[in-house]
């Protein structure tokens, strides 16, 4: 297959359209009475947990099999009726699967690829050797298998897994391949047993993903991927699914709930809040629990970020309802309204702005590229522009909590994690091995003239599977400085490590930025300084990239090699 990594082209269209209809910034949310009173909401699906195949869930060994399949018929439930959508799923299960493990467990994960294209399973957030990390350098061909085996010696966290094949990650995740990995340790076990963290049926994982569906034909609606030019700047749908359903409801009792919020959308940002403006407590970020919980009334999340929140229904009357929403916000690229004197994007002249469509030739290349690995599941038909696409920043109802049962809840959330938790040790910038020579990652977007093609790059380079971009010594502690010199926010992610954020635009980290992070948003014009320690287990070639999957697939990605023995030939 021809490796074209520069396939974005239509940001300008986004920018032109963004000027009209910008929603007001952080306006007070008007309570959506119709949604709160709706009697047609589907019930939230609780995600199915895989069971350990070795038959003993208490030993420190676990074996699982994940088989990726195309054409798994999924019943999509929405307030406006249900339909069937063929999706790509693991183990033919209509829902994303959950794997639970304990810190230190020896994992054996057998992956069978029954797709018609190469795939991998990448273990997002795990500190594991590069040859087990499921990067694009270890593709698993159709009808082939691979066994991943590793041990996770890192704090308990809400992590996940997804395919990571070269240039096909966005599509495979969009079609439905992603799963949840919940790591526990003796600290989370202790906190759960002593009622300092909700557990059991009060510990709920919520996978939030936006999707676009085609027109119904005989009760079937096909997923639409990259059916509009603008999708190449980040695939946005118009239907937000939570655990596979649109706007579901969950019956809760008058106690505290631990919600693990996963933004595993391809490109969408959310500003999560409750419809009554209530505050809630964030106890965990991507890589584990916070040393001290943080009280907030909203949380902004980019693609691939996770938080664990505690929401308290103990003061709610039985019969009351509250919605989890994503508030309206001003999207970063709205600031491009005044493009004439914006120097963030290297546009040569204004005439290019009228030339936002692909030439017929490019269009053909695009659809051929898709067809290489494609199937019947996506439609190539172009839908009407803007239809099926909800812009970042549009307010949307995510789900609803219906308080149905009175209980006495004795949970008292911890105020400080046990002292042995690693998060208490803030890495000291003065002890970084590259102090004074920090590694620099500059994210930019360029119009490169030819027909308005948009490129997404880091340090001016497009991903090359044969090139190592950064060499890192084993066991070193490094400061990385990520700058965004583009007009939109990018979620930066690096494999193999959990970072501590030092500062944003020079302002020392606070709040949830004090938690372990493997992915973090870098807003337009922002600069984020992070510190991390590469551990003995970190060995080989790993990726760093933007986690807007269409940017990643278009080459906004690079390799860093830890130690001398890499994987890239």
Which of these, 311, 262, 306, 301, lies nearest to 288 by C-alpha position? 306
Q: Looking at 211, 298, 389, 495, which residue binds ligand C2O (CB under 6 A)?
A: 495
Q: Tell the smallest beta-carbon distance from residue 481 to Cu ion (Å).
A: 17
What is the largest distance, in Å, between two alpha-carbon atoms of the chain? 66
304 binds, among ligand C2O, Cu ion, none (CB under 5 to 8 A by kind): ligand C2O
Within 523-562, the residues that bind ligand C2O by CB under 6 A are: 543, 545, 547
493 binds ligand C2O (CB under 6 A): yes
If one counts every other C-beta atom within 10 angstroms of the C-beta of residue 483, the result is: 18
Would you say 324 or 482 has its CB closer to Cu ion?
A: 482
Kindly give, in sequence order, each residue whose CB lies less than 8 Å from that of residue 427, ignoring residues fewer than 6 positions away: 477, 500, 531, 532, 533
Q: Tell the smallest beta-carbon distance from residue 488 to ligand C2O (Å).
A: 19
211 binds ligand C2O (CB under 6 A): no
495 binds Cu ion (CB under 5 A): yes
Would you say 122 or 490 has its CB closer to ligand C2O?
A: 122
| 251 Ramachandran zone, left/alpha/beta (phi>0; psi -120 to 50) | beta
202 binds ligand C2O (CB under 6 A): no
533 binds Cu ion (CB under 5 A): no
Q: Tell the smallest beta-carbon distance from residue 7 to ligand C2O (Å).
A: 18
Would you say 222 or 548 has its CB closer to Cu ion?
A: 548
490 binds Cu ion (CB under 5 A): yes
Q: Tell the smallest beta-carbon distance from residue 179 to ligand C2O (Å).
A: 12
Element holding 14 (H helix, E strand): helix 11-18
Q: Answer yes or no: are the C-beta atoms of 479 and 434 closer than 8 Å.
A: yes
124 binds Cu ion (CB under 5 A): yes
164 binds, among Cu ion, ligand C2O, none (CB under 5 to 8 A by kind): ligand C2O
Would you say 242 or 548 has its CB closer to Cu ion?
A: 548
User: For the chain, how many helices (H) and strands (E)?
Assistant: 6, 31
Q: Answer yes or no: are the C-beta atoms of 287 and 125 closer than 8 Å.
A: yes
Q: Tell the smallest beta-carbon distance from residue 543 to ligand C2O (Å).
A: 5
What is d(CA 500, CA 497) in angstroms, rounded to the nearest whole number? Answer: 10
What is d(CA 531, CA 50) in angstroms, rounded to the nearest whole number? Answer: 35
Q: Answer yes or no: are the C-beta atoms of 216 and 83 closer than 8 Å.
A: yes
Q: 493: which strand partners?
A: 519, 545
304 binds ligand C2O (CB under 6 A): yes
Closest residue by beta carbon to Cu ion:
546
What is d(CA 175, CA 86) in angstroms, rounded to the nearest whole number? Answer: 9
Q: Tell the smallest beta-carbon distance from residue 139 to Cu ion (Å).
A: 16
Tell me the two tokens of residue 350: 């204004």
What is d(CA 432, CA 428) in angstroms, rounded to the nearest whole number? Answer: 7
Would you say 64 or 126 has its CB closer to ligand C2O?
A: 126
What is d(CA 291, CA 218) in angstroms, rounded to the nearest whole number? Answer: 52
Would you say 311 or 494 has its CB closer to ligand C2O?
A: 494
Tell me the two tokens of residue 422: 């690693």
Question: How many amino acids of this chain bind Cu ion (CB under 5 A)?
Answer: 6
Would you say 274 or 480 has its CB closer to Cu ion?
A: 480
Would you say 52 or 286 has its CB closer to Cu ion?
A: 286
Would you say 329 or 441 has its CB closer to ligand C2O?
A: 441
Instruction: Look up tokens 């933007």; give the residue.
Output: 546
Specify burial of residue 198 (Cβ count, 10 A radius: 0-12, 13-18, 19+).
buried
122 binds ligand C2O (CB under 6 A): yes
Tell me the two tokens of residue 42: 């589907």
Q: Looking at 5, 124, 221, 561, which residue binds ligand C2O (CB under 6 A)?
A: 124
What is d(CA 252, CA 321) in angstroms, rounded to the nearest whole number? Answer: 10
Q: Tell the smallest beta-carbon distance from residue 72 to ligand C2O (Å).
A: 22
Within 186-215, the residues that bind Cu ion by CB under 5 A are: none
User: Which residues sit at the interface with ligand C2O, rule CB under 6 A?
Assistant: 122, 124, 162, 164, 304, 493, 495, 543, 545, 547
The binding site for Cu ion (CB under 5 A) comprises 124, 490, 495, 546, 548, 551
């Amino acid at each position: 297959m021809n490796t074209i990594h520069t396939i974005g082209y239509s940001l300008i269209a986004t920018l032109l359209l963004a000027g009209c209809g910008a929603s007001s910034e952080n306006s007070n949310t008007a309570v959506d009475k119709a949604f709160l009173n709706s009697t047609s909401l589907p019930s939230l699906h609780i995600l199915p947990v895989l069971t350990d195949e070795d038959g003993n869930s208490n030993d420190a060994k676990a074996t699982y099999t994940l088989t990726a399949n195309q054409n798994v018929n999924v019943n999509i439930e929405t307030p406006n009726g249900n339909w069937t959508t063929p999706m790509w799923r693991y183990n033919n299960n209509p829902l994303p699967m959950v794997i639970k493990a304990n810190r230190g467990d020896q994992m054996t994960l057998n992956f069978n690829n029954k797709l018609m294209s190469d795939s991998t399973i990448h273990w997002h957030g795990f500190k594991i050797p590069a040859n087990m990390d499921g990067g694009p350098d270890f593709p698993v061909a159709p009808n082939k298998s691979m066994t991943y085996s590793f041990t996770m010696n890192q704090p308990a966290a809400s992590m996940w897994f997804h395919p990571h094949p070269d240039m096909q990650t966005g599509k495979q995740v969009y079609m439905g391949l992603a799963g949840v990995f919940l790591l526990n340790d003796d600290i989370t076990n202790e906190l759960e047993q002593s009622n300092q963290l909700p557990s059991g049926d009060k510990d709920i994982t919520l996978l939030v993903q936006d999707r676009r569906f085609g027109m119904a034909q005989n009760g079937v609606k096909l997923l639409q991927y990259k059916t509009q030019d603008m999708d190449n700047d980040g695939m946005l749908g118009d239907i937000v699914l939570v655990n596979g359903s649109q706007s579901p409801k969950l019956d809760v009792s008058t106690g505290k709930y631990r919600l693990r919020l996963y933004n595993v959308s391809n490109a969408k940002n959310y500003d999560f809040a409750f419809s009554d403006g209530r505050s809630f407590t964030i106890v965990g970020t991507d890589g584990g629990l916070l040393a001290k919980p943080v009280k907030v009334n909203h949380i902004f999340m980019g693609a691939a970020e996770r938080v664990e929140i505690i929401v308290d229904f103990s003061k709610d009357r039985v019969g009351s309802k509250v919605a989890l929403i994503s508030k309206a916000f001003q999207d970063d690229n709205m600031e491009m309204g005044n493009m004439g004197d914006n120097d963030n994007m290297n546009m040569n002249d204004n005439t290019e702005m009228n030339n936002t469509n692909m030439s017929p030739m490019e269009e053909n290349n695009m659809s051929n590229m898709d067809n290489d690995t494609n199937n019947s599941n996506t439609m190539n038909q172009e839908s009407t522009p803007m239809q099926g696409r909800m812009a970042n920043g549009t307010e949307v109802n995510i789900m609803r909590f219906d308080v149905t049962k009175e209980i006495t809840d004795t949970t008292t959330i911890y105020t400080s994690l046990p002292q042995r938790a690693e998060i208490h040790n803030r890495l000291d910038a003065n002890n970084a091995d590259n102090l004074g020579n920090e590694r620099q990652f500059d994210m930019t977007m360029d119009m490169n003239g030819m027909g308005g093609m948009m490129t997404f790059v880091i340090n001016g380079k497009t991903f090359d599977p044969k090139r190592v971009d950064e060499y890192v010594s084993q066991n070193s502690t490094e400061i990385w400085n990520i700058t965004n010199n583009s007009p939109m926010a990018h979620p930066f992610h690096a494999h193999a490590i959990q970072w501590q954020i030092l500062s944003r635009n020079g302002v020392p980290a606070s709040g949830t930025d004090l938690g372990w992070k493997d992915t973090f948003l870098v807003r337009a014009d922002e600069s984020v300084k992070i510190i991390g320690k590469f551990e003995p287990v970190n060995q080989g070639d790993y990726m760093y990239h933007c986690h807007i999957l269409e940017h990643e697939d278009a080459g906004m990605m690079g390799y860093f090699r830890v130690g001398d023995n890499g994987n890239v030939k």
